[in-house]
Amino acid sequence: MKPYCWLIALFIAVSCKPKSVPVKTNTAAKPVRVLPAGYKMVTAIKAAEADTSETDEQLNAYASYYVLVVDTGKSYEELRNKMFNLHQSSNLDIDTLGRYYDKTKGLIQLPDGDDDEMYAGEYYPRRYPSQYLSLEYLDEYHPGSESKMIALVAGIYETKTSADSILEAIQPSEKAFVLKARIYVGCMH
């Protein structure tokens, strides 16, 4: 029985031997990258799961507005006094957005116990068109400005013409200027 086993094993070994097929080589052929079998499936799943809504929202999260800056400086008290004087001499109201200057922090901020827990005790910028006097940090509207540089703002306007007409009407000082700003108007939470 042993000789038959050897013959069967030999027959199987010979029949399982791969046949040689001539391979055509093309020297101009580009290298081929072999991807794992599940690549297409995983890629399709990732593409289907991708949430592009945030990207669309980010495109609409900024607006170009014109900020009327009356004066700038590091002294909150000095600019606050100028703001009250300008309020008396013009028809512009003051809107602090509920913020005040915390001398210990050196920061214009919302009250520590504000309803907005995320920004309580922090600076929250004016971001939408309005015709109010307020004290803001200049770098919110002019990136690259000196840190904690305070601006006396006399409104944010949708058009340059609107900002220029208010500037002409109040004639605050030679330091006043209109700044075109790209302002974040998306969700801050």
Residue ranges of domains in the chain: 59-184
Task: Please tell me the predicted confidence (pLDDT) of residue 11.
Answer: 53
Task: Please tell me the predicted confidence (pLDDT) of residue 42.
Answer: 47
The residue type at 43: T
Distance CA 179, CA 61 (A): 19
What's the mean pLDDT in 47-69? 74
Task: Please tell me the predicted confidence (pLDDT) of residue 2.
Answer: 59
Task: Please tell me the predicted confidence (pLDDT) of residue 171.
Answer: 80
User: Contact at 8 Å (CB) between 185 and 141?
Assistant: no
User: Contact at 8 Å (CB) between 141 and 134?
Assistant: no
Residue 15 has pLDDT above 70, yes or no: no
Q: What angle do CA 96, 102, 104 make, to 5 degrees?
A: 170
Task: Please tell me the predicted confidence (pLDDT) of residue 120.
Answer: 94
Task: Please tell me the predicted confidence (pLDDT) of residue 69.
Answer: 97
Summary count for the chain: helices (H), strands (E): 5, 7
